[in-house]
Chain A
Amino acid sequence: MSLSDTEIRTIEQHANDIRTTIISMLVAAGSGHTAGPLGMADIFAALYFYILKHDPQNPDWSERDRLILSNGHIVPVRYAAMAHAGYFPVEECLTLRKFGSRLQGHPERERLPGLETTSGPLGSGLSQAAAFAYTAIMNDERHHVYCALSDGEHDAGNIWEAALWAGKNKLRNLTAIIDRNNIQIDGYTEDIMPLEPFADKYRAFGWHVLEVDGHNIAQIVSACEEAKAIYEKPTVIIAHTIPGKGIHEIERDYRWHGKPPSKEESVAFLNELRTMQGKIVSEHQ
């Protein structure tokens, strides 16, 4: 099943709305990560507005697909996607990182319905997602488990422990989506700790590997559908993304990994995003 051009444009529009909200919430928070959330906006739009089986009015629905966010620091993209999908009012996004907010700086499961785990310290999400997938098989449940990860967190041994375990157990209902944006706090991933040949590593661990353009909605959706059709292995989708995607000044600059835009900067950034509204030219026309 392929997406129609209208469906693609709708998801792209959601991604743009998510980016706008991300900038607004980071400015209001005065701290947080910018590049990663912007770079994952297309994937989270595709997840929340097409791929995931979920019900924003009933976040604990037992048959929902599970989305585990391993690199908790990009949670603004998840909060923004959840808000636009109807889990909570978009205005609540402006409480990010504030005292008493449900939107903690790093996500806490207990505070906000719709989150599956508490995360932030890198490297543990794939293990948790693998356990969710294993449990579903044990219980003969049909939902799918997705795990969003960063490339930088693959420096952590825990990830590879989980990759081994998921491969051994042939977790067909597990799809990992790696944000391959090539940056981490101290610089470019291949300078800090080279991950290439990244796909080969996962293949060697018993995974089905797909690579996509992480800003191409049709490719993202198609890869997720292929992953569900692979029955004998877990699938990893290496999504090549541009950190800071959507805002020219932020794109590809690792210095935007861990800081928010200032109020002044945000005016130009939001204008850049807003002028795209209604003017997105899809490749699929």
Chain B
Amino acid sequence: MLFPDAHIQDSWFEAKDQQPTRAGFGKGLVEAADADPRVIALCADLTESTKVDEFKAKYPRRFIEVGVAEQNLAALASGFAASGKIPFMTSYAAFNPGRNNEQIRTTIALNNVPVKVCGMHAGISVGPDGATHQALEDMALMRVIPRMTVISPCDAEEARKATLAAARHDGPVYLRFSREKTPVMTTTDTPFEIGKASLLWHGENPQVTIFATGPLVYNALTVARALGEKGINSIVVNIHTIKPLDDAAVVDFASRSGCVVTVEEHQVAGGLGSAIAECLARSKPLPIEFVGVHDQFGQSGTAEELYAHYKMDVPSIVEAVDRAIARK
């Protein structure tokens, strides 16, 4: 059953409210700018699709157009941050942090300035654009850089909160957003704290723990509900912060069921699954099944087609749950 303190929408299963996480970012960015005059935004010729247009209209002097130049985007943001600004630098995740990884490493993380790296259109669900634009390694790239916080919000409302929290966080942050409309599950009352895992679903005597991140959290909840109807109880935890990982919560929730499934729209190497595996291997080794992309590139298609083909849809998660339970 839904964990009451998570304040998930009562009608979440009907998925009536659908918005892309990038829209929540756009809203959060304006709110962050309202609250702090140091907040600025940098765009690389993608102002509308990165949802910075509202910010640009309201704060034209705090909007910086960089053109199609993601390395310059990152190094400029570094200079702005070192000069006292709080820059949100935005482009598609395939290029930011895909193309400008070294500038992020040296001029932002090693330089230790509070730039917020915003990767849009992340994951396979960007669909028809094909493999070139489907960033599936961005969290891995960012997670291995010291000082970098990595956040992957599950819906538009959480994206709004994550953006506000990133603005207040004194350090570099990677924020991951997706293009497609996805169900909004959380509410303004749902707690969000960087580095704190969010319990969403908890049944009695759970047989499996599902750790999910990003919009696929919705699929994880859907699986939990379906399993519950069959008498298989589970735990669903939203890991919106991949780094720093909430180690204590991960060990606690994993221990309650004795086996784990991780769910992410990312390569299983280097992302959420790896982070969970590293954590549990250290203190509580348990069977883990990894839902995500297994060392492959994507291709053109609709989000639904691609989730099914690359085995991140609801039936694929159910199969992973069966495998995990069988390995206990």
A residues neighboring B (CB under 8 Å)? 68, 108-110, 116-121, 123-125, 127-132, 134-136, 138-139, 157-158, 161-162, 164-165
A165 B72 Cβ-Cβ under 8 A? yes
B111 A134 Cβ-Cβ under 8 A? no
- Does chain A have a CB within 8 A of B232? no
A119 B106 Cβ-Cβ under 8 A? yes
B110 A131 Cβ-Cβ under 8 A? no
B71 A158 Cβ-Cβ under 8 A? yes
A109 B77 Cβ-Cβ under 8 A? no
A124 B67 Cβ-Cβ under 8 A? no
Q: Which residue of A108, A116, A127, A138 is within 8 Å of B72 (Cβ)? A: A127
Would you give 30 A-B contacts (Cβ < 8 Å), ordered by A? A108-B111, A110-B111, A116-B82, A117-B82, A117-B111, A118-B111, A119-B107, A124-B107, A127-B71, A127-B74, A127-B75, A127-B76, A127-B79, A128-B75, A128-B79, A131-B75, A131-B76, A132-B82, A134-B79, A134-B80, A135-B79, A135-B84, A139-B84, A158-B72, A162-B76, A164-B69, A165-B66, A165-B67, A165-B69, A165-B72
- Does chain A have a CB within 8 A of B78? yes
A161 B72 Cβ-Cβ under 8 A? yes
A162 B110 Cβ-Cβ under 8 A? no
Q: Which residue of A116, A120, A138, A162 is within 8 Å of B75 (Cβ)? A: A162
A129 B67 Cβ-Cβ under 8 A? no
Q: A120–B82 Cα gap in the complex (Å)?
A: 17
Q: Which residue of B61, B107, B112 is within 8 Å of A128 (Cβ)? A: B107
Q: A132–B79 Cα gap in the complex (Å)?
A: 5
Q: Chain A residues with Cβ under 8 A from B84's Cβ?
A: 135, 139
User: What residue in chain A is nearest B70 (Cβ atoms)?
Assistant: A161
- Does chain A have a CB within 8 A of B83? yes
Q: Chain B residues with Cβ under 8 A from A131's Cβ?
A: 75-80, 82-83
Contact (A158, B75) CB under 8 Å given A132-B82, A135-B84: yes
- Does chain A have a CB within 8 A of B103? yes
- Does chain A have a CB within 8 A of B102? yes
Q: Chain A's nearest CB lies how many Å from the CB of B134? A: 24
User: What residue in chain B is nearest A133 (Cβ atoms)?
Assistant: B79
Chain B 284-305 interface 0/1 with A at a Cβ cutoff of 8 Å (1 = within): 0000000000000000000000
Number of A-B contacts (CB under 8 A): 95
Top-3 shortest CB links A-B = A131-B79, A127-B75, A161-B72
Q: A135–B47 Cα gap in the complex (Å)?
A: 21
B112 A129 Cβ-Cβ under 8 A? no
- Given A117-B78, A165-B66, 20 extra CB contacts under 8 A: A68-B79, A109-B111, A117-B82, A117-B107, A119-B106, A124-B74, A124-B75, A124-B103, A127-B75, A127-B103, A129-B79, A131-B76, A132-B79, A134-B79, A135-B83, A138-B62, A158-B103, A161-B69, A162-B75, A165-B72
Q: Chain B residues with Cβ under 8 A from A161's Cβ?
A: 66-67, 69, 71-72
- Does chain A have a CB within 8 A of B143? no
Greatest chain B CB density within 10 A among A108, A131, A157 is at: A131
B107 A135 Cβ-Cβ under 8 A? no
B110 A118 Cβ-Cβ under 8 A? yes
Q: Chain B residues with Cβ under 8 A from A157's Cβ?
A: 71
Q: Which residue of B75, B79, B85, B112 is within 8 Å of A110 (Cβ)? A: B112
User: What residue in chain A is nearest B81 (Cβ atoms)?
Assistant: A131
Q: Chain A residues with Cβ under 8 A from B103's Cβ?
A: 121, 124, 127, 158
Chain B 109-127 interface 0/1 with A at a Cβ cutoff of 8 Å (1 = within): 0111000000000000000
Q: Chain B's nearest CB lies how many Å from the CB of A165? A: 6
A132 B83 Cβ-Cβ under 8 A? yes
Name B89-110 residues within 8 Å CB distance of A. Answer: 102-103, 106-107, 110
Q: A161–B77 Cα gap in the complex (Å)?
A: 14
Q: Chain A residues with Cβ under 8 A from B64's Cβ?
A: 134
Q: Chain A residues with Cβ under 8 A from B69's Cβ?
A: 161, 164-165
Q: A151–B285 Cα gap in the complex (Å)?
A: 54
Q: Chain B's nearest CB lies how many Å from the CB of A122? A: 10
Q: A192–B74 Cα gap in the complex (Å)?
A: 27
Q: A238–B82 Cα gap in the complex (Å)?
A: 26
A124 B71 Cβ-Cβ under 8 A? yes
B72 A162 Cβ-Cβ under 8 A? yes
Greatest chain B CB density within 10 A among A116, A123, A136, A161 is at: A161
Q: A14–B61 Cα gap in the complex (Å)?
A: 43
Q: A195–B285 Cα gap in the complex (Å)?
A: 57
Q: A101–B107 Cα gap in the complex (Å)?
A: 20
Q: A117–B106 Cα gap in the complex (Å)?
A: 10
Contact (A118, B106) CB under 8 Å given A136-B83, A164-B67, A164-B69: yes
Q: A123–B75 Cα gap in the complex (Å)?
A: 9
User: What residue in chain B is nearest A68 (Cβ atoms)?
Assistant: B79
Q: Chain A residues with Cβ under 8 A from B74's Cβ?
A: 124, 127
User: What residue in chain B is nearest A135 (Cβ atoms)?
Assistant: B83
A117 B76 Cβ-Cβ under 8 A? no
Q: Chain A residues with Cβ under 8 A from B62's Cβ?
A: 138
Greatest chain A CB density within 10 A among B67, B72, B102 is at: B72
Q: Chain A's nearest CB lies how many Å from the CB of B292? A: 31
Q: Which residue of A110, A128, A164 is within 8 Å of B78 (Cβ)? A: A128
